[in-house]
Structures are given as C-alpha cells and as structure tokens.
Amino acid sequence: AEYMGKSSATGTKSKKKETESFLKNIVASAMDLVSGDGAPGVPATASAASAGESEEPTRTIYLPSLKRFCDMAAEKAVDLGLVLLYDSEHKRIRVELPGPVMPPEGQPHPWIDALPYYNAYANCDPDDEESKAYVFQELLLLCQAKMSPLGNFAEVRPMLRPRLRLLSQLELFDMQCELKGDDVVEIPHRVVAEEPTVVAELCVDRGDTIAVVTEHHIRAWNKPFAPLLDELIAELERASSPGKWRRQPDETGCWLAQYRDGFDATRFLCPALVRALHVPGVPVVMVPHNEVLLVAGSDDPRMLKAMFDTMVALFTKVPDPVCGIWTLDSRDKWVPWTPPPEPEAIARMAKNLAARGLGQQYHSQKRLLD
C-alpha cells in the first residue's frame, strides 16, 4: 500500500499499472494458499513486463495445490469406481476399499505417496494436456492395482508359484477382451522356449483355486516380476525331491515326473532336475499339460517312442495338449529339438506331433473369431 501511494503521488501511469499487476499476483497467491490445505500454489511460468514496456498485466500461471491435485485425481477416479481420499498429514492418497475386499481389522487401507505424481505434474508444460493426463493415468492405474483381490504380498507370498503357459493362450485371452470390449489385462511373463512359444508366469495357488498374477498385482506389491520369478523357480527346485520320477510305461520307457502338486510341468524351468536323470544323449522334453513332464534321451529310440506314445494317448484325455519338443543347449536353455533322420519312425512321429500342435492353435483362434 505504501508503494502504491508513492506511485500515485508521482503520477507515473506505467508504474501504477505495473504495481496493480504485481498486487493482483500477490492476491492470487494468497487466495491459492488459503483455498488449499496450507500448501501454496506453485508458479509454473512467470513473465514480468519491464516498466514502461507494456500496458498489459503480468500473466502468471499457477499450479494447483497438492490437495487440489489429489482432489482432481479423486474426481477422475469416480469413473473407475474408485474412492480416493487425501491424507494431508502424510501427503498421500488413501484408496478406500469396498466391502468385499476390506482390509483385515486393524490393517490400514492401501495408500499411495502423492508427491512423486504431483512433482511429475508440476514438470509438465502448462499447455501440454496430454502429459498431464498421462500423470493422472499412471496414478489411477496404481490405485486400481491397490484394489488387488489377491491380498497383500505378505499374505500371498507363501502361495506364489511359477507356472508354464503357451503364449498363444495369452494372445487368445487378449483377443477375447478386445472382442468383448473389456479392458486388456496385462499378465507379466517370460519366454522360456520357442516353437511353440512357452512362457513362465506367476500364480497364487490356494489349493482349490489358482489365480493368475497380473501387472496390477505386481504394481500393488511393488515387487519387480523378473527377480520374483527367479526366486520362486529356485525355491521350486530346492523343494523338488530327485526321487519323484518313474519310467513310463515300463523300465525301458521315458521318465514321467510324479510330484503330483499341479506343477509337474513347471519343473521344466529347473534344468538341473532334468539333467539329474542322466538320460542317454541330451535330454528331450515334452510338457503337454501342467501336470505332465516327460523326459527321454536323444540317443535312446525306445525312450523317445515311449514319450511320443504317451503324448498321443493324452490327446484323448487332455484338452489342447502342448506338442512342443525341446532339448537343452550348452547354456541350459531350452531349444526346439530336431529329430535325426534315423530311425525314420521316430522322426515321423515327432513331425506329426508338431503339425498337430500347430493345427490345434489355429483351430482355437478360428473358433474364437467365429
């Protein structure tokens, strides 16, 4: 006010305009300060006019307060069926869980640190609406992940298991979501073999049900997928007794895993268990079903024939069995096995199985499209 008085006394018009603009900005800052939760607005850009150069008021763009930013996120979350509340004491967003997935008594609702997202929003160009929208999108994705019905990580960790699946099955699932207009569900996975492509994923085994771990769960638990998968594979290998195998159909036949826990085929991820069988030549493996793991030796035609005969018999018992045939390379990686030309009967059986498996995949995709 003192400055304004002096400016009026001099009668300098441009000085008065500059001062009025200055005071308007101060008032705007004060209004932002008292309208939020005590956190002032943060100037995004400011361009002060030099005295006497312009009659236009100074234009300053202000970001919302942290509380207002969280309120904006809560407004957008309504469309997703989420209820978000701002915790001003800890500067975080609380995700209110509905009745069916309420946390246990005494346990807090899940929460998200709001500051990293607020800072990302602050770093966006004021006119870049796309980048601002992306910040809210990432924040809301994490909020959705916090709604995980599988439970918190400490609760599900003892039930986590690695599992094998055909990549084509995941692709079919994506197609179903797209055709129905549903949101695509990302399932983190690692390719472990080709022709056909087999991937390793994570699941929660509750005994009577198995739930697939999605990208939402990985986000909610804040546990990177790759090291978690490696850890679970190592646990499975340590827990697998080397004696739980039998010859199929007799003592000259192939090896059949007998763990009977629903994850026999998952031992495919443990090359040391396969090598411990000491088969003639290199190990040749098939995993037609989650509960079936067959191993033969490349140099033993009787073992190979027994494995292929077992596989053919499974076509009448298992829906859409996996028909891939793999062997271990020098780095303990699974690669497609190419049968030698002799014996001719073995080579023919292997090629027929491969063709049959490919036909099954095409049939499944066509059935879905039809």
Cα–Cα distance, 339 to 351 (Å, whole number): 8
Cα–Cα distance, 13 to 342 (Å, whole number): 102
Q: pTM higher than 0.75 for the full model? A: no
pLDDT at 30 over 70: no
Strand partners, 193: 198
pLDDT digits (tens, 9 = 90+) for 182-206: 556 788 999 999 988 999 999 998 8
For position 363, what pLDDT does the model report?
A: 63
178 or 34, greater pLDDT: 178
Question: Is the Cα torsion angle 255, 260, 261, 265 positive or negative in sign?
Answer: positive
Cα–Cα distance, 310 to 288 (Å, whole number): 10
Average predicted confidence (pLDDT) for the chain: 78
Specify the range with the lowest mean pLDDT, choosing from 13-17, 166-170, 282-286, 355-359. 13-17
